[in-house]
Structure 1
Amino acid sequence: MQLSSTLAWLVDLAAETAGADRLLAGLGAHLVADGLPLAGGALTLDVPHPLIARRTWLWRATNGEVIEALGFAPGGPAAALLTTPANKTSANDAGRQWLVGIADGKVHEDMIGPKQNAPSLAWIGPRPFTPREIDQLRQAARFATAPLAVLATRATLTAALEAYLGRRSAARVMAAPLRRSVGETIQAALLYADLRGFTALSEANPPAVVIAALDAWFDRIAGAIHAFGGEVLKFIGDGILAIFPVAGRTTRDACEAALRAASAARAGMAHLDSERSRQGLPPLPFGAALHLGEMLWGNIGAADRLDFTAIGSAVNLVSRLEGLCKPLGKTILVSGALAAEVETPLIPLGTHELRGIVDACAVFTVPDN
């Protein structure tokens, strides 16, 4: 039996596509080439993600554009299409278009595989599909099972690694061998921050209260870091280490981004402390330090148990600099190396010795700190 171009593509090449969006676009284009009257399609996959339960990609046949829909209504891709804009169409207009399609029987949907939360494919046509066309779509869905399983596994791995390592680090881990001493030297602005009085907080409260406080703190600091293009490398107890790599932008841009992230975190924590005060809870004071330097970004660990992290003198310095926040009575401290790269006005605090660091460090802070 000779396979159609669609089925041959699904068997031979679909699993090698770059992602679910490209698979949907390729499948839609092949179905159209095989004579199927399609106006658009949707592909939905479950992913283990801290915020997103499912991801849906929407394809439009007229121009081949694919967009991703997040936070859609439950019930499969056909339901997602009712509430998600497509090709820059407003959500209301898109909803009306798909409602008309459903009312006229123009939508066909297949679940891919036997599992309850299996991937699903939905197609919409300019007219109701004929029984023969429905058979063709169902056959394509059956042949799509294997490549979609590959993509779903890849998506699960990517989502898990990004949740625990961050996007840049996850991509680096997936691209490199799983061996020690695999890494690269990068230049980045570093941010190190931790809560003050965390030991006392832990001793005086049950674990659930402590975890709630930590989660609230990490939401503010990590949210600010991500908002300005940084990446969290480590949660270390109540502390956090983040980097703003210079690669792809100027050194000044990376340093300014780190400085803005620290200021945004301070504003976020001030709002959180106000909320906690209204609830009769103590504030969560913190300290943050910023530095610019080079570090080894890669794998360390035992032969069969690795960690992906950043190490080097710059990491040591920024952590020691954060330790000065409390004695100097400042929330944010900036090293001379980073201060020299930014245009934001900073206040000099003199030169200070840092524990374990050979050379004294020029220290600055931000206004109103």
Structure 2
Amino acid sequence: MQLSSTLSWLVDAAHEAAGADRLLAEFGEHLIGDGLPLAGGALTLAVPHPLIARRTWLWRAATGEVIEALGFAPAGPLSALQEGPPNDGGRCWLAGLADGPVHEDRVGLRPDGPSLCWIGPRPFTPDEADELRQAARFAAAPLAVLAGRDTLSAALDAYLGRRSAARVRLAPLRRDVGETIEAALLFADLRGFTVLSETHPPSEVIAALNAWFDRIAGAVHAFGGEVLKFIGDGVLAIFPVIGESPRAACNAALRAASAARMGMAHLDKERAKQGLAPLPFGVALHLGEIFWGNIGAADRLDFTAIGPAVNLASRLEGLCRPLQKTILVSGTLAAQAEMPLLALGTHGLRGIASPCAVFTLPED
């Protein structure tokens, strides 16, 4: 038996596969075309992701269907929820698909390298197992390309956010490359963080910051927004306007702020049980146009948002303490809101020429 079609494809074209799912499916189809009896296959890759340790794609030869299973990282709050493929890659996922035993090859020399598993309608002969091992050796190069792409995508998503990362991947890496968009802005900040950081050990400060960021970022992402920046103990997030009306973006920002407030109330109760002080914070919401793109030095760029709307949101958050409110909303965003808001009058903001009408979400 000769793997001419499979090996030629692995050398010449496999690296152009759109993703791991297509690579696995096309790999299996080429092996079948070269005479190997396959009922299904699995590909497992380690993932440099804050929450996900590995991803496994499962291919069924009869239908061509590919599904994905996730394995969560062993450390952190999701460790008890591990539901993804175990350390033996896709072997257990293929059991029961056919009568034959699963043939597995570890691609490359690294113990955490890609894993390829195949199962047939019957046990593989020694010659067929040798053919699969040979194919796995030739798969090392395209899998390295695929893993490199996935690593870059995962890193950009983790550090920039999904929307911003997509823009960075598509646009030139030059200053001033970006666009003006309309968005609902959320600016949030912890209060008393300087005192906290000076009176507590670094481990406690970091734990408090992470807990705060989990609540505020989790709420933003749950309602379709994106965190652009963690600025010390502050957060800048956007809810881009899609379509002609900004109402959906404004309502999403308000719901996110409300959810964050509830999440922090629960966190403060848990901290009180541990004898820890609460974490007071302020959130400001505003609607306006921003420049969303590359800014920075010639050879060191940042993908961020700037503009008068960002400045106003930041200054508005500064009113949370004197007005004794957790959430403040500008009149511009309030005019688009469906949620009931309470008017707090018109206030001057430091560095902003025109006074701003200010509203708040009811505390209940």
Matched, 1:199 2:191: no
Q: Is the 8 A contact 2:69 2:85 kept in 1?
A: no
Matched, 1:32 2:28: no
| 1:352 maps onto 2:347 in alignment | yes
**More displaced, 28-37 or 183-192?**
28-37
Q: What's the secondary structure of 1:53's corresponding residue? A: strand
Structure 2 counterpart of 1:125 = 120
Match of 1:134? 129
Name whichever of 310-319 and 16-25 sits farther off. 16-25
**Cα distance in 2 between the residues matched to 1:352 and 1:140:** 70
Aligned-partner Cα distance in 2 for 1:368–1:136? 67
- Paired residue secondary structure (1:58): strand
Q: Measure the CA separation in 2 of the matches of 1:118 and 1:126.
A: 27
Alignment partners' CA distance in 2, 1:267 and 1:105: 53
1:37 is displaced (CA, Å) by: 2.1
Corresponding residue SS for 1:70? strand
Q: Is the 8 A contact 2:100 2:120 kept in 1?
A: no
- Aligned counterpart, 2:318: 323
Measured in 2, the distance between the counterparts of 1:173 and 1:100 equals 43
* Map of 2:271 onto structure 1: 276
Preserved CA contact (<8 Å) 1:44 1:76: no
After superposition, the CA RMSD in angstroms is: 1.8
Which digits, 9 at most, give the CA deviation of each residue in 1:4-61, with x for residues without a partner? 2222221121111121122112212222233322222111111211111111111122
Q: Percent identity over the alignment?
A: 75
Deviation for aligned residue 1:311: 0.8
Matched, 1:78 2:73: no
Q: Paired residues, what number?
A: 351
Taking the TM superposition and a 5 Å limit, the aligned residue runs for 1:119-198 are: 119-198=114-193
Kept after mapping to 2: 8 A contact 1:224/1:262: yes
- Contact 1:339–1:346 at 8 Å: present in 2 too? yes
Question: Which whole-Å CA distance do the structure 2 matches of 1:253 and 1:48 have between them?
Answer: 33
Residue 42 of structure 1 aligns with an amino acid whose one-letter code is: A
TM-score with structure 1 length normalisation? 0.91
Q: By how many angstroms is 1:62 displaced?
A: 2.2
| Structure 1: unaligned runs, 5 residues or longer | 82-97
Paired residues of 2:348 and 2:354 also in contact (CA < 8 A): yes
Q: What CA distance in whole angstroms lies between the structure 1 residues aligned with 2:243 and 2:43? A: 32
Specify the SS of the correspondent of 1:334: strand
Corresponding residue number in structure 2 for 1:4: 4
Provide structure 2 residue ranges, at least 5 long, that are not aligned to the other structure.
Answer: 72-83
In structure 2, what is the equivalent of residue 238 of structure 1?
233
Q: Deviations over 1:175-223 (max 9, x none)?
A: 1111111111111111110111111111211111111110110111111
Change beyond 3 A, Cα 1:248–1:119:
farther
* Distance (Å, rounded) in 2 between the aligned partners of 1:315 and 1:62: 54
So what's the TM-score if we normalise by structure 2?
A: 0.92
Question: What residue in structure 2 maps to residue 17 of structure 1?
Answer: 17
Q: Partners of 1:76 and 1:253 in 2: how far apart? A: 45
Alignment match, 2:49: 49
d(CA) in 1 for partners of 2:170 and 2:247? 28
C-alpha separation in 1, matches of 2:189 and 2:348: 20
1:213 aligns with 208
Residue aligning to 1:116: 111
Between 1:217-226 and 1:121-130, the stretch displaced more is 121-130
1-side partners of 2:222 and 2:153: how far apart? 21
Post-superposition shift, 1:80?
5.4
Find out whether 1:305 has 2:294 as its counterpart.
Answer: no
Task: Tell me which amino acid in the other structure corresponds to 2:221.
Answer: H
